[in-house]
Every structure is written in structure tokens, then in C-alpha cells.
């Protein structure tokens, strides 16, 4: 277990931030709400805006500017599809104007926990947030993929706050991945490879066909998965793991097979695979 030496900031110095948006498979990144928990005069205080997207984002900008001295603690809000940059892009899309949304201090709580406990600190299947909620008895478990309402959003925000608090005071329960059962023993050689597979998918699938082609063929070459036909492999990803959409599954079927290891390899794919599966 790797220990992250950097400790979490104190309550008074933090803003816990989260927001709700449309499903990631939609072209339009619609903002439903933005919420935050922070401390004012040592009292737990809330910021929550929903309604018109333009108003939500503009009020959020004011909030960010006022609290530039605090650390904004978030959950994976650092990707092209979810986070501060997509919110800025959405504002420009609906208004034609640019907006600055740049907290001076940010901390990704998800990455912090992975850095401290390792990527297998809790199962990613079904979502790490959901699994931490179940493991620790917190509310805020998300049933649907999209959180739209103020009630659901508030619950999700409170969940991230509860995780921060529990971790801050040494009370957060995490799983021991060495004891996890392999959920797909006919495909993955062990639970560790399954968890690394999920991590890889979450970070490195950009070019659907070629990325999955390289991943599957490289895993076979390294003997990290059991031999499966390309179609069965893609069926498991679609029907059981829910990692690919119906449209992507149909796209695969039009081709009839995945590309070979030689044809799908690229410098970045090799590097990404080695970092996660080979640890080099």
C-alpha cells in the first residue's frame, strides 16, 4: 500500500464541489446543477444552483472567484468530458462568450485515494463512489446514470463530503482487493487484472475500434486474459460489463472482427498499457 504523504486540508480551507450533467454518451454537455459545501465562520454552508444553465455557470464563477483561497475538492472533475473545462465549454456554446473557471487550488479526491491506497482500494464495477457509499454506510448511492434533481444532487454532494471527512479523520473503510473475487473468471486470469482492465478503460479509450483491438490482442499476447473470440469479448463488454454502447457494438459487428496487434499498436497505446498492466 502506497502512502500519500500529502494530507487533506482542514474543513475551513476546503470547498467540496460536484455537479450534475447529461449522460457522457450525449453530444451536448448539459448542466443540471452545481453544488458545493464549504465552511463560513466555522459553520457548514451550502452553495447550490439549478435552473437555467447560463445562470448556474455565472453564479458558480462568482462563487469560485470569492473562494480562491480555498482548495476545491472534487471527484474526477479533470477530464475532457466532466469537470471545469467542459463547464466552460458549455458556457461558450450557449452564450458565445468565454468564462474563466479556474480555482487556484484543486484536489481530485478520487486520485488522492488511489494514490494512497492503490487503484484497487474499492471495486470500480458499479462506480467507486457507489461502492464507497455501500462499504461505509453513507447515503448518496446513485441508482441512475444521470443525477438531475436538487435532492439527488444534494445527496451526491453529501456523499463526497462524507468520504472526505471519513478519510480526513482516518475512518474511511476501503476494500482489500486481494480478497476480491474475479467477477469474470472465464475472461480475466484474476481479480487484479480485471481491476486494471477497468482502470485502463476509464482512462484510455478514445478511438473505440483501434483502442479495444490493441487492448484485447495485447492482453492475449501477455496471457492476462483467457482466449475468447473477438465477438465474445465484445459481447461481454457490451452486455455484461456495460462498457460499450449499442451503437459501438453495432459498429464492431459491421467490421466483423478486431484489428490485429500489429495493425492496432501505437506508441501511446503501448505506453498506456505498460503503465497499468506491466508497471513500467
pLDDT band at residue 176, thresholds of 50, 70 and 90? Answer: low
Q: What's the whole-number mean pLDDT along residues 227-237? A: 91
Half-sphere exposure of 267 (CA within 13 A, CB side): 0
Report d(CA 220, CA 189) in Å as an integer: 11
Q: What's the whole-number mean pLDDT along residues 190-217? A: 90
Percent of the chain clearing pLDDT 90 (strictly above): 52
The reply to whether CATH 3.30.420.10 applies to domain 11-168 is yes
Look up residue 14 and give its three cell numbers.
Answer: 476546503
Locate the domains of the chain by residue range.
Answer: 11-168, 191-278
Per-residue DSSP letters for 100-115?
----SEEEEHHHHHHH
For residue 146, the model assigns a pLDDT of 64
How many Å separate Cα 69 from the centre of its chain?
26
For residue 4, the model assigns a pLDDT of 42
Within 10 angstroms of residue 108's Cβ, the number of other Cβ atoms is: 18
Q: Is 14 helix (H, G, I), strand (E, B) or coil?
A: strand
* Residue where the block lists cell 468565454: 98
Note the pLDDT tens digit of each residue in 4-18: 446 799 999 999 999
Look up residue 147 and give its three cell numbers.
Answer: 443525477
Question: Higher model confidence: residue 189 or residue 97?
Answer: 97
Report d(CA 265, CA 185) in Å as an integer: 26
Contact assessment for residue 76 and residue 124, using Cβ atoms and an 8 Å cutoff: no
Report d(CA 143, CA 155) in Å as an integer: 12
Contact assessment for residue 96 and residue 132, using Cβ atoms and an 8 Å cutoff: no
pLDDT band at residue 194, thresholds of 50, 70 and 90? Answer: confident
DSSP state at residue 118: -
pLDDT band at residue 116, thresholds of 50, 70 and 90? Answer: confident
Amino acid at each position: 500500500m502506497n502512502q500519500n504523504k500529502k494530507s487533506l486540508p482542514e474543513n475551513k480551507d476546503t470547498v467540496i464541489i460536484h455537479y450534475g450533467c447529461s449522460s457522457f454518451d450525449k453530444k451536448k454537455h448539459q448542466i443540471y446543477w452545481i453544488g458545493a459545501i464549504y465552511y463560513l465562520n466555522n459553520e457548514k454552508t451550502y452553495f447550490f444552483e439549478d435552473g437555467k444553465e447560463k445562470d448556474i455557470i455565472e453564479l458558480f464563477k462568482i462563487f469560485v472567484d470569492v473562494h480562491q483561497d480555498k482548495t476545491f475538492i472534487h471527484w474526477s472533475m479533470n477530464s475532457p468530458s466532466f469537470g471545469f473545462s467542459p463547464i466552460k465549454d458549455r458556457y461558450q456554446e450557449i452564450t458565445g462568450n468565454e468564462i474563466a473557471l479556474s480555482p487556484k487550488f484543486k484536489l481530485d479526491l478520487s486520485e488522492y485515494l488511489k494514490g494512497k491506497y492503490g487503484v484497487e482500494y474499492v471495486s470500480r464495477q458499479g462506480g467507486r463512489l457507489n461502492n464507497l457509499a455501500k462499504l461505509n454506510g453513507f447515503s448518496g448511492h446513485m441508482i441512475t446514470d444521470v443525477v438531475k434533481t436538487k435532492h439527488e444532487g444534494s445527496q451526491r454532494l453529501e456523499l463526497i463530503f462524507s468520504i472526505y471527512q471519513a478519510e480526513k479523520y482516518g475512518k474511511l473503510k476501503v476494500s482489500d482487493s486481494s480478497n476480491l473475487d474475479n467477477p469474470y473468471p472465464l475472461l480475466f486470469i484474476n481479480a487484479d487484472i480485471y481491476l486494471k482492465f477497468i482502470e485502463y478503460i476509464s482512462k484510455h479509450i478514445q478511438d473505440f475500434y483501434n483502442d479495444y483491438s490493441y487492448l484485447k490482442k495485447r492482453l492475449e499476447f501477455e496471457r492476462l486474459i483467457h482466449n475468447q473470440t473477438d465477438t465474445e469479448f465484445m459481447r461481454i463488454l457490451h452486455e455484461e460489463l456495460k462498457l460499450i454502447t449499442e451503437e459501438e457494438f453495432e459498429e464492431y459487428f459491421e467490421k466483423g472482427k478486431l484489428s490485429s496487434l500489429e495493425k492496432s499498436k501505437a506508441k501511446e497505446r503501448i505506453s498506456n498499457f505498460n503503465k497499468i498492466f506491466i508497471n513500467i
